[in-house]
Amino acid sequence: MNDRIQLIVGLGNPGAEYSQTRHNAGAELVEQLAAHQHTSLQPEKKFFGLYGKVLINHQPAHLLIPTTFMNRSGQALSALANFYKIPASDILVVHDELDIQPGTARFKQGGGHGGHNGLRDIISKLGNDRNFYRLRLGIGHPGSAAQVSGFVLSKASVAERDKTQAAIDEALRALPLAVSGDWARAMNQLHSFNG
C-alpha cells in the first residue's frame, strides 16, 4: 500500500437538521481539514458538493463534501473522480463506523460497504471497484439493528462528541503520511491512538 491520495471525501447529510449528527463525522473531519489548510470549501454544482483544493505535504489534494444525501454520495465522488481522472486507489473516503467505538479511528483499504449507505452508493458508482481507502471514525453501535437509523441520525452526548473530536484530531495528524503514501506509518500512528 503506497498509493498517494488525490481526493479526500467526507460523508454526511446536508442541511442544518443533520449538523453534528453521528452520520456526519466524515464531513466534519473534511471541514476541519480545510480549515487547518486555510481553505474554504465552495459549492460546486458539477461535483454535487462543497469543493476545495489543498496542499498536504507539498502534494495537491482535492477535498469534497457531497451535498447529496448520504445514499447518493457516489454521485458526487464519481463526478469529481471522472473529471480529474482519479483512480479508486487514490481516493480516501472518510465516514462514520458503527463497528468501532467513539474515540477511535482506523485506516482501511478496500472491503465491502458493511451496510453503510454512503459506501454502498460509492462502490456502485465506481463500477464495483472497492479498492479505495477509508478513514473510519468510530461512533459505536446502539446494540440493535432496528435502532441504527435513528442512532446515526441523532447527535451524540457531549462526552461522546469529545471522544470523536479527539479521534478526528489524531486522524488529521496522521493524514499527511497517508496522503504521501506512507500507509504503514500512518496506520501505526492512528491505530495506536485511543481517545
Instruction: Compute the distance between CA of residue 37 and CA of residue 104 in angstroms, rounded to an integer.
Output: 23
Domain membership of residue 169 (yes or no) is yes
Domain membership of residue 119 (yes or no) is yes
**Average pLDDT per consecutive 10 residues, the chain (195 residues; last block may be shorter):** 88 94 97 96 97 94 97 96 96 96 95 92 91 96 91 94 96 95 94 83
CATH number at residue 170: 3.40.50.1470
Q: One of 23, 62, 95, 116 is an active-site residue; which one? A: 23
pTM metric for this prediction? 0.96
Domain membership of residue 1 (yes or no) is no
pLDDT at residue 166 in the model? 96
pLDDT at residue 1 in the model? 59
What's the domain count of the chain?
1
Domain membership of residue 65 (yes or no) is yes
Domain membership of residue 164 (yes or no) is yes
Domain membership of residue 2 (yes or no) is no
**Could you list the residue range(s) of the whole structural domain that residue 172 is in?**
7-191
pLDDT at residue 2 in the model? 64
In the residue annotation, 116 being an active-site residue is answered as no
